[in-house]
Chain A
Amino acid sequence: MTSVQTKLYSDDASLVVVLIDVNPYFWATAASGVGGGVNHSSATIPFAKFLNSMIAFLNSLTLLNQSNQVVLIATGINSCGYIYDSGTKGSEGSGKVMEVSSEILRRLEEFVDRDKKLGKLQGMAVGSNVSSLVSGSLSLALCYIQRVFRSGAIHPQPRILCLQASPDGPEQYVAIMNAIFSAQRSMVPIDSCVVGMQNSAFLQQASYITGGVYLKPPQLDGLFEYLASVFATDLQSRNFLHLPKPAGVDFRASCFCHKKTIDMGYVCSVCLSIFCKHHKKCSTCGSEFNHVPQNPNSASNLKS
C-alpha cells in the first residue's frame, strides 16, 4: 500500500465522461425519416455524422489541456459499456487523432455486436418502447469518477456529458434520480445535449440539480459547433462565461391520479407518491393509510 499522498487539486485538469446514446431503434428510425421530422436536414442527424462530431469533440477536449482525461461510455438498450479512456493511453496515443478515432469506432462496433447478442439472449419481447439504459451509463460514469478520485496523482474537475437521442425511459425513474442525486452529492455536474426529437425531462432535471448545462441544439448539423462552443468549457471557466440556461424549469409536481399540477396534496409516506386527494391505499406502493386526516372543515362541522 502506498502511503497517502496529498493529491494535486487542479483547476485546469478536467475529467469528462461522455455518454453516447446507441439506441438502434432511434437512429435507424430517425434515418429512415419515419419519425416524423418535418425539417429532415436539421431535426435529425445520421449516426455516422453524430459519431464523427463526437469523436472530434473528444479529441479537442484532450487538446485543450494535456492533463484532461476523456472517457467514453456507450448507452445501449441491453447494456452499457466503456468504449474509450484517454487516460489509459498514456502520452503516446494522444497525438494520433486517427488512431483514437479508429479505436473508438472499433470498440463501438464490438459494443453494438455485444448489445445485439445480449438482446437475443434475453429474447427481446418488448416491442414498443425500447429506451436506452441511461441510468446504467450514468452509474458507470459516476463509479469511474470515484475511481479516478481515489487513484492517480491529480484530482481533476469531473463532469458528465450526456448525449441523448432517444426519449426518456420512465421505467428507469428511480434509478436515474438516484444517479442524479449521487452526482449532486459528489459535485459532478451533468451536462446534457439532446440530439433527439424531444426534450428530456430526466436530463433537464439532472442538469438543473447538478448545475450542469442543458441544451437541445436546434441545428443538429452543427452538432460539433455546439459541443465545442458550449460543452467544451471546463468548470473553472464556467464561472466567467455565460452559458445557455433553460429559461426556467417548472418542477412542480402533479398528482399521480390525474396528472394535474398541484400546489398542495397528499404524499405517501412510504414511496413519496403524490395525490390530490386522500386515498385509502397508495396506488404506487400499495401501502394502506388507515388514519383519516384531520380536516379542519369537517371537524368544525362535527361540532354543534
Chain B
Amino acid sequence: MNTLFQNAFKTAYNWVDERLNIGDAIAFAGKKTVPEHKHSFWYYWGGISMFFFIVQCLTGVLLMIYYRPGAEAYESVRQITNEIKFGWLIRSVHSWSANLMVLAIFIHMFSVFFMKAYRAPREFGWWSGVALLVLTTIFGFSGYLLPMDELAYFATKVGLGIPGSMPGASVLVDLVRGGAEVGDATIQRFFTLHVVVLPALFVPLLGFHLWLVQKHGNAIPPSEELTPVSERRSIPFFPNFFAKDLAVWLIALNVLAVLAALFPWDLGKQADSLSPAPVGIHPEWYFMSSFQILKLFGRWFPGTLGEVLGILVFNLGLVLWMLVPLYDRESPSGVKARRVTYFGLAVLAITLITTFWGYWEV
C-alpha cells in the first residue's frame, strides 16, 4: 500500500519534473544558505512584511466583493461591518494587517540600515525597499479614505492639504482629489489607486526586491564580518530557513487573528462635509511623525515659510536616507561608517520622539 502510493507519487513527480525541472530549483534552493549569528532574528522581518502583504491581497479582494466606491461608500462599509456575515472580521483583518505590514516594514528597514546591508552590491535592494515603503504608505493613505467615515474624511482633507499648501503643488493635489473638495470623485480615484494602480506597481517592485535578495544573499552585519570566514555559520535556505520562515508566518497569523477578532476595527459616523472636524483628529500612527514635524516647523516659523521649510527639511531627510549606500563607503578608520550609524540612530530617535509627541498633543 505504502509503496504503491510512493510509486504513484514518484511517477507523477517525474512527469512534472521532466517538463519543469523542479529538481534543479530544489537543488538550487538547497545550496542557497542563510547566515546564522546573534542578529539572525532580523532576517525574518522582510518575510513578515510580505506575509502581511499577501493577507492584504486576499482580504482586499474579499472586501471588493461588497465594497461600492462613490456615494454609497459609507453605506457599503456599514453593511460589510454590521450585516454581511463575518464582514466585520474580513474588514478587521484587512485594517489590522495593513498596520502590522507598515510596522514590519519599518522594523525591516531599520534592521537593514543598522546591519549596513545596503552597501555594495546591494544598493538597489535598499532603493527598491524604500520605494516599497513609500508605496505601502500610499496604500494606507488611500485605503483609509475608502470607508468615508468622519476620521477618514478629515484625515484625507488634512493629508492632501499639506502638499496643497506648497506653491505650485495645488494643481497636482486638485488632480489627485478630483476637485477642490474631498468627495465622491476622490473616493473613486483613491479606490482605483488602491486596488489597481498600487498593486500593479507594488507586485513587480516586490519581485525585483526579492530577486535581488536571491541574487546577493543575506548581508552579514559588520560585527559578524570580524569573525573569520571558516568560523561563520549558516543554514540551508531550503528546507531549514524556509521552515523557520513558515513558523514565523504562523506566529504572525496568530497575532493577526487575535488582534482582528478581539479588537474589531471601528467604523465612525458618516462623513458630513458641513459638520466641523471632531476634536482630537489625527493621522494614522505611521504619518504621525511627519505630521508632528510639519506642525513644529509651522510653530517655529509662522506662515507659509514654516510649512514650506517643514516640507523641504522632511524631503531632504528622505533623500539623505535614500542615498546612504552612496556615502557610507568603507574607510580604513571606520569613522565614516560610525557617523552613518549615528545618523540612523538620530533618525530613529526623531521618528519615535515626534510620534509620541504627536500623540501627546492630540
Decide whether A and B are members of one complex: no
Q: CB within 8 Å of B: which residues of A?
A: none
